[in-house]
Structure 1
Amino acid sequence: MSWAFLTKLLEAVTQHSTLVGKLWLSVLVVFRLVLLAVGGEAIYRDELSGFSCNTAQPGCLNVCYDTFAPLSHVRFWVFQIVLVTAPTVFYLGYAVHHLSRRQMTQKLEEEESLIPGKKSCKDGAHDGHRRIRRDGLLGAYVAQLLVRTALEVAFLAGQYLLFGLKVPPDYDCKQNPCPHVVVCYISRPTEKTIFLLVMYAVSGLCLLLNLIELLHLGLGSIRNGRSLKNGGHHPAPSPHSKAGKLEQMQRQLNLVQEQMGMVFNQGPLLATEPTSTGQSPDYSLFAQQNWHNQAQK
């Protein structure tokens, strides 16, 4: 994956997320992707070569390391990042498809109608909640947020069950083909313990941001519902609904009737106006002939 594609993907995600969602994305990129790519690769580079046991029995070292670490820390965190960001990527694809179809529909309706609809005002770059609600993406956004939160909880529990809270300096192994209880030693256990705790903290921070965003969206929806209820008015009908189309057609008919009424009212005045007002006889004859043509129609 190239950095240019990743940059475009991040820009698209920030355009369809709230302020807390943008903060979560920053934590994901800086404290997960960059930290894992820079620090994790250097720390866990010798996890197998630095794992030594006090035996020369062939195959015992590999069996003991497989028992000690069924899944590598780095591979576990990579798998975690991929699955946690998958709901956001799916939501982004849905949002782009939904908005493209909506823009095409609006364009066709504006071309067919005589009076173009009013353009919706652009929200500020920080007001992601209002923009998501206006674009009809609130349900999909909340759904991907719930799935992302559940995945964070599941991976936190799995990380604790697999690795615990500390990387021990030694490990007692008794597996075939080891002849007896073998003591194995882990390279740089203190450094790996610190990095493990940092990844716990980052996962906890991402989970906290998800919960804050859910609370923010819930409180925003409740506040909007109460404001509509206390105001005692319903929102204006959408120009794309059936009621909006009927009102638009009624306004067009009223406008045509007013124009026809102005033509019929001005016709007799022009026909009966005396020539002493300063108008030329030719213009009075033209007005009378125009009124006669309108009357025949």
Structure 2
Amino acid sequence: MDTEIWIFLSGTDWYVPHLLKLVLSFLFTLRLLVLVLGERIAWKDDLSDLVCNSTRVGCHSECYNQFSPLSPLTLCSLQMIFLCVLSLANLWYFRDNTYRQLRCCSLFAKGLIEGAFLFTCVQLYSGIFRPSSFQCNLAPCEQPVTCHLLKSRLKDDFVLLMVSASLASLSICVLAVCLLLGKWLYNTGSSGEKLFKKLCLNYYSQGKNAMLMQSQTGYNPCI
């Protein structure tokens, strides 16, 4: 049971070193806690936290859509959902030893999810953080309208924690892949070296037997 919990929290299995698995589990748990606390403290109503100096109907909503096409809380929630689905797949689908060799794919998938989250975050907000104030020039607003985001510092801290944890998790995934690749190359090299030594030994034995036959009978197989 304890092993299954570690597998779920880390999203990996036996092929990852214990220390890296421990750090991945900590980062996953930390993000879950930050997500729950952030929703209760900073993200109760992100739309209401955007204040614009306009009274026209529909202006506030249009400015919010321009300001934040996708809420950081929603983006982080989607990321955690994908990570949970990956952990469940790794826990249940790959439990059978038939798929044991495919378990390394979960490590690549985890790194892909982390990288996709970071890339989407940067592309959506032209950086990690959303601006605390901006000018809105969309209809039906007056030209121009100034909007300010309340609790911007608290929300920036939330995003910073999630992005930092995701970046650390991505780095650990890359490190684990490098370790696995190095281990595979080492094992492949050792197997090749053993095969080479075996072939050399067989060749030496055959040559020695041929020389012994030639010395006893005078027969030279090369003639």
TM-score by length of 1: 0.57
Q: Tell me by how many angstroms 1:156 deviates.
A: 0.7
- Aligned twin of 2:109: 147
Q: What SS does the corresponding residue of 2:165 show, helix, strand or coil?
A: helix
Matches of 1:82 and 1:22, distance apart in 2: 20
Q: Which runs of 5+ in 2 are unaligned?
A: 197-223
Q: What SS does the corresponding residue of 2:70 show, helix, strand or coil?
A: coil
- Contact 2:7–2:87 (8 Å) recurs in 1: no
Partner deviation per Cα, 1:17-69 (whole Å, 9 max, x = no partner): 32223431221112x11111123431122422221111111111111112111
- Aligned twin of 2:155: 192
Matches of 1:12 and 1:206, distance apart in 2: 15
Q: Where do 1:128-207 residues align within 5 Å?
A: 137=100, 139-163=101-125, 164-207=127-170
What is the aligned-residue identity percentage? 22
Runs of 4+ in 1 over 6 A off after TM superposition: none
Q: Tell me by how many angstroms 1:11 deviates.
A: 4.4
- Contact 1:172–1:184 (8 Å) recurs in 2: yes
Aligned CA distance change for structure 1 residues 230 and 84 (closer, same or farther; 3 Å): same
- Aligned twin of 2:32: 33
Q: Tell me by how many angstroms 1:210 deviates.
A: 0.4
- Contact 1:85–1:148 (8 Å) recurs in 2: no
Q: What SS does the corresponding residue of 1:184 show, helix, strand or coil?
A: strand
CA RMSD of aligned residues (A): 2.6
Instruction: Name the amino acid aligned to 2:166.
Output: S
Q: Tell me by how many angstroms 1:185 deviates.
A: 1.0
- Contact 1:16–1:95 (8 Å) recurs in 2: no
Of 4, 13, 27, the residue aligned with 1:16 is: 13
Q: Tell me by how many angstroms 1:9 deviates.
A: 5.5
Instruction: Name the amino acid aligned to 1:63.
Output: E
Q: What SS does the corresponding residue of 1:63 show, helix, strand or coil?
A: helix
Matches of 2:160 and 2:50, distance apart in 1: 21
Residue 72 (str. 1) matches residue 35 (str. 2)? no
- Contact 2:94–2:103 (8 Å) recurs in 1: no
Q: What SS does the corresponding residue of 2:103 show, helix, strand or coil?
A: helix
- Contact 2:136–2:144 (8 Å) recurs in 1: yes
The size of the alignment, in residue pairs, is: 190
- Contact 2:6–2:25 (8 Å) recurs in 1: no
Aligned CA distance change for structure 1 residues 188 and 209 (closer, same or farther; 3 Å): same
Residue 49 (str. 1) matches residue 48 (str. 2)? yes
Matches of 1:198 and 1:16, distance apart in 2: 25
Matches of 1:140 and 1:168, distance apart in 2: 43
Matches of 2:181 and 2:7, distance apart in 1: 24
Q: What SS does the corresponding residue of 1:47 show, helix, strand or coil?
A: coil
Q: What SS does the corresponding residue of 1:165 show, helix, strand or coil?
A: coil
Of 173, 187, 212, the residue aligned with 1:210 is: 173
Q: What SS does the corresponding residue of 2:143 show, helix, strand or coil?
A: coil
Q: Where do 1:56-95 residues align within 5 Å?
A: 56-95=55-94
- Contact 1:46–1:187 (8 Å) recurs in 2: no
Q: Where do 1:145-294 residues align within 5 Å?
A: 145-163=107-125, 164-232=127-195
Matches of 1:85 and 1:140, distance apart in 2: 18
When Rg is computed on C-alpha atoms for both structures, the one with the higher figure is 1
Aligned CA distance change for structure 1 residues 27 and 39 (closer, same or farther; 3 Å): same
- Contact 2:59–2:141 (8 Å) recurs in 1: yes
- Aligned twin of 1:248: none
Q: Where do 1:114-129 residues align within 5 Å?
A: none
TM-score by length of 2: 0.75
